[in-house]
Amino acid sequence: MNSAGLSDRNVSQSLKIGARILREDQAEVILPGYSKMREQIGHFRSDAKSRRDAEESNDNPILIHYKQDFRTNYDNVVSLLGERGSGKSSVLLTLKYHHTKDFADTDLIFPLIAPDQMSKASDTLGWLLSFLQEEMTTIDALLQADREKNDRWSQDTFCNKETKSELQKNYLDLQKAYLLRQDTYAAIVRRRDEGVYEHIQDSQKIVNCDRGLMEKFHTFVDLLLETKSRLLRKHGNHQEPMILIFFDDVDISSGRCMEVLETVRTFLSHPNVIVFVSGAYSVFLEAVTIHMLHDEKVDARSYDRDFAPQVGEAERSALERRQERSREYLKKVFPPAFRYEMKNHLSEQEKANFAYYFDDKQEEEAPTFLDLLSGIRGSTGMALGERFAGAGTTAAEGIEGKGVRRNQIPVTYFRVFDHNPRGLISPYYFLYQRKDKEWTGTDVTRFLEVILHANSQLMDHQKRIKDIIRIEFDAEGKLLDKERTFIDYSLLQGDRILVLTKEESVFRRMARQDLTLLLLADLLEKMLGLFDPRFAIADHVKAKQLAKLLNRIYGSKLFPQISQVRELLSIHEKLTPLLSIVSRQMFDVTSDTHFLERKYIEKVSEDKGLHAFLKQSYGEDNSWLDEMISYMGQIGRTDQEIYHSIVDRIHLNTAFWDNEIYSEIMPDQELIFRMNLEQIDGMMTRISQQPIDPDKTRTTIISGMDILSLFEQETQLEQEIHQVREEITNLSGKIQILNQSRWLRNSDNSASDKKNSLLSKIEKRIKKNEQMLNKFKNIQDTQQLLYTYFNEEVIGIDSFDIEMAISSNKDSNEDLAENFLDHVDGMHITYFNPIVVLKEFLNIYQIKQFIKQESTDFIALIFNDPEENDHLSEAEQTSISNYFELTHELELLKKLLPPAFTTNVNEVRDINLEISAAQYKLEKLEDQKSDVFADMQQYSKSLIESDNVPLNKALHDWYQTRTYKNRKKVLSEFASIYLNNENYQFFLSYKNLFDGNNAIESLSAQDTVRIWLGIAQNVEFLLTQRTQFYRSFHAQKEFWAEVLAEMDQESGELIPSVSLYVKALYEIEMLRIKADEEAGGSIAYFREEKRQLIEMASKNHSTFDLYLKQKLVRS
The pLDDT score that the predictor gives to residue 1016 is 77
**What pLDDT is recorded for position 1?**
32
**Count of Cβ atoms closer than 10 Å to residue 928 Cβ:** 16
Please compute the mean of the pLDDT values over residues 949-954 and round it to a whole number.
75
The answer to whether 491 touches 464, Cβ cutoff 8 Å, is: yes
DSSP 8-state symbol, 15: -
Would you state the pLDDT for residue 522? 92
pLDDT tens for 289-321 read: 888 888 878 777 777 766 666 655 666 677 888
Its pTM surpasses 0.75:
no
Measured CA distances, 726 to 299, 718, 720, 735, 920 (Å) = 85, 12, 10, 15, 14
Peptide bond into 1056 cis (omega under 30): yes
Of the pLDDT bands very low, low, confident and very high (cuts 50, 70, 90), residue 756 is low
Mean pLDDT of 116-138: 86
Mean per-residue pLDDT, 399-406: 38
Residue type, 589: V
Confidence of residue 527 (pLDDT cuts 50, 70, 90): very high
Rounded to whole angstroms, the Cα distance separating 758 from 743 reads 11
Residues contacting 321, CB < 8 A, separation 6+: 308
Half-sphere exposure at residue 824, Cβ-oriented, CA atoms within 13 angstroms: 24
Mean pLDDT of 723-751: 69
Q: Please tell me the total number of residues recorded for the chain in this structure.
A: 1115
d(CA 93, CA 142): 27
**H or E stretch covering 795:** strand 790-795
What pLDDT digit, counting tens, does each position of 866-903 carry?
Answer: 776 677 888 888 888 888 888 888 888 888 777 666 65
Determine if residue 279 is left, alpha or beta; phi over 0 gives left, psi from -120 to 50 gives alpha, anything else beta: left
Q: What is the mean pLDDT of residues 1029-1040?
A: 50
The pLDDT tens digits of the residues spanning 452-498 come to 998 888 888 888 898 899 999 988 888 888 889 989 888 886 555 44
Phi-psi region of 642 (alpha: psi -120 to 50; beta: other; left: phi over 0): alpha
Q: In which order are the strands placed within the sheet that holds 339-341? A: 108-113, 243-247, 273-279, 77-81, 339-341
Neighbours of 776 (CB within 10 A): 15
DSSP codes joined into one string, 766-791:
HHHHHHHHHT-TTHHHHHHHHHHHEE
Contact (CB, 8 A) for 1012 and 1071: yes
Q: What is the pLDDT, as a whole number, of residue 161?
A: 58
Q: How far is it, in rounded angstroms, from Cα 338 to Cα 358?
A: 30
Residue 745 has pLDDT above 60, yes or no: no
CA 551 to CA 917: how far, in whole Å?
A: 64
On average, the pLDDT of the chain sits at 77
Domain ranges of the chain: 20-341, 348-537, 654-710+930-1079, 752-897
Q: Give the per-residue pLDDT at 632.
A: 92
DSSP letter string, 634-702? HHT--HHHHHHHHHHHHHHH-TTS-HHHHHHHS---SS-----HHHHHHHHHHHHTS---HHHHHHHHH
- Residue 396 predicted with pLDDT over 50: no
What are 958-1010's pLDDT values in tens digits? 777 767 777 777 777 777 776 777 777 677 777 777 665 556 666 677 777 77
CB atoms within 10 A of CB 745: 10
The pLDDT of 344-372, averaged and rounded, is: 78
- Reported confidence tier of residue 141, pLDDT bands at 50, 70, 90: confident
pLDDT band at 83 (very low <50, low <70, confident <90, very high): confident
- What's the mean pLDDT in 669-687? 63
**What is the spatial distance between Cα 560 and Cα 593, in angstroms, rounded to a whole number?**
23
pLDDT over 70 (residue 248): yes
Percent of the chain with pLDDT over 90: 14
Nearest CA to 596 among 635, 567, 630?
A: 635
> What does 877-901 look like in DSSP terms, one character per residue?
HHHHHHHHHHHHHHHHHHHHS-GGG
Q: Cα Rg for the chain, rounded, in angstroms? A: 53
Strand partners, 383: 377
Determine the pLDDT at residue 446. Answer: 93
Q: Is residue 663 pLDDT above 70, yes or no?
A: no
Q: Quickly state the pLDDT bin for 499 (edges 50, 70, 90).
A: very low
| Half-sphere exposure at residue 297, Cβ-oriented, CA atoms within 13 angstroms | 0
> What's the Cα-to-Cα distance from 794 to each of 165, 788, 821, 877, 1078, rounded to whole Å?
144, 18, 10, 20, 106
Assess whether pLDDT exceeds 80 at residue 216. Answer: yes
Segment 884-892 long-range contacts (CB within 8 Å, at least 24 positions apart): 884/786, 884/830, 884/832, 885/830, 885/832, 886/769, 886/772, 886/773, 887/773, 888/832, 888/834, 888/859, 889/769, 889/832, 889/837, 890/766, 890/769, 890/770, 890/773, 892/834, 892/837, 892/838, 892/856
| CA-based torsion, 1008, 1011, 1014, 1016: positive or negative | negative
Angle between helices 166-180 and 124-150 (to 10 degrees): 170
Q: How confident is the model over 900-951, as pLDDT tens digits?
A: 666 566 777 888 888 899 899 999 989 988 888 887 777 666 666 666 677 7
pLDDT confidence bin for 247, thresholds 50/70/90: very high
Work out the pLDDT band at 359, boundaries 50, 70, 90. Answer: low
**Of 7, 24, 1, which Cα lies nearest the Cα of 359?**
24
The predicted structure's pLDDT at residue 1003: 67
> Residue 516 and residue 505: Cα distance in Å, rounded?
17
What average pLDDT does the segment 279-290 reach?
A: 88
Alpha-helical (H) ranges within 369-461 are: 369-374, 384-387, 421-433, 441-454, 456-459
Please determine, for residue 199, whether its predicted confidence score (pLDDT) is greater than 50: no
DSSP 3-state helix, strand, coil percentages of the chain (rounded to 5)? 65, 5, 30
What confidence tier does 801 reach under pLDDT thresholds 50, 70, 90? low
Quick check: 1081 and 608 in contact, CB under 8 A?
Answer: no
> For residue 604, is pLDDT > 80?
yes
What three-state secondary structure class fits 406? strand
pLDDT of residue 1069: 85
- Is 50 exceeded by the pLDDT of residue 395? no
Tell me the pLDDT tens digit for each residue of 375-392.
999 988 899 998 887 544
If you average pLDDT over residues 708-730, what whole number do you get? 84
In the predicted model, what is the mean pLDDT of residues 834-862? 79
User: pLDDT per residue over 426-465, tens digit each?
Assistant: 899 899 888 889 999 999 999 999 999 988 888 888 888 9
Return the sign of the alpha-carbon dihedral for residues 924, 925, 930, 933. Answer: positive
401, pLDDT greater than 50:
no
**Lowest-confidence region among 55-59, 70-74, 132-136:** 70-74
Establish how many alpha carbons lie within 13 A of residue 63's alpha carbon, considering only the half-sphere containing its beta carbon: 8
